[in-house]
A and B are shown apart, each in its own frame.
Chain A
Amino acid sequence: MTTYSNVKFMTSAAEAHQLAPDSGREIAFAGRSNSGKSTAINVITQRAGLARVSRTPGRTQLINFFELAPERRLVDLPGYGFAKVPERVRLHWLALMEHYFNVRESLVGLMLIVDSRRGLGAQDVAMLEWILARDRFAHVLLTKADKLNRQDSLRVLRETVAAGAAWVLRMSRCSSGSWPEIALRTYC
């Protein structure tokens, strides 16, 4: 079992060429702004203040690399969904994310942080598509579950699992071409 509290900061990347060496294994954390991503990272690693909570739109967006153990990393991807981000910053985020998801060999899985009261958004789904296109795993953390009653939180969980399974099916069938004709026309 990995001892997450041994985590330590490695490096930050603002540009594609600044990524940490691509060896071993790493898990990426992604989520929209205010999804509870930083809090989730801090609680999982038991290190308050490791990932800083930022609500400042438009500042330089960084990919932060943390070492859990030799050749094992946790990667904090820049948040998305800020309302007032300048176009230039948004495009930079998009290019950096596409590059990261396309090239990263050591990436084994994506922890997608989603506010349980909001559910999956369009940008969250883009993240799922990127990771599934690479045949890697995704695990959705539905955060702030204490804000929902038991019935609502279980409904959100069921819906998220169903949406995830449907995306896996859609992507695998579109590539293999084994969909029934009607589904091919509609989905692909």
Chain B
Amino acid sequence: MLEWILARDRFAHVLLTKADKLNRQDSLRVLRETVAAGADAAVSAQLFSAHNKQGIDEAREVMDRWLESA
């Protein structure tokens, strides 16, 4: 598991230093690419609370899509 931790920490570091390493044009391009990848990212997220009954339908809708898409 240590390698996952290292990979994750290193990744966080890269995000912080990216602006230093790239000129303005390159950093804007990378930003655009990141946003574009996020637009159809395979990873989504939501808030959920069993206590407040928050996000239950939203979670079910995601599961419906996965179970029923062709």
**Chain A interface residues (CB < 8 Å from chain B):** 1-2, 4, 25, 27, 36, 39-40, 42-44, 68, 72, 108-109, 111, 116, 122-123, 125-126, 128-129, 132, 135-146, 153, 156-157, 160-162, 164-170, 172, 180, 182-183, 186-187
Q: How far is the CB of A185 from chain B (nearest CB, A)?
A: 10
- The reply to whether B43 and A145 form a contact with Cβ atoms under 8 Å apart is no
Contact with A along B15-47 (1 / 0, CB 8 A): 100000110001000100110011001111111
- Determine whether the beta carbon of A111 is less than 8 Å from that of B63: yes
A180 and B44 contact, CB distance less than 8 A? no
Verify A140–B59 contact, CB threshold 8 A.
Answer: no
B44 near A164 (CB under 8 angstroms)? yes
- Output the least CB separation between B19 and chain A (Å): 12
On whether the beta carbons of A142 and B46 are closer than 8 Å, the reply is yes
Q: Closest residue to A132 on the B side, CB-wise? A: B42
The 10 A-B residue pairs with the shortest CB-CB distance, nearest first, are: A164-B43, A165-B38, A140-B45, A145-B47, A169-B37, A109-B66, A146-B49, A160-B45, A145-B49, A141-B48
- Indicate whether A183 sits within 8 Å of B41 (C-beta atoms), given known contacts A108-B67, A123-B1: no
Q: How far is the CB of B3 from chain A (nearest CB, A)?
A: 9
- Tell whether A44 pairs with B56 under 8 Å between CB atoms, given A157-B45, A164-B44: yes
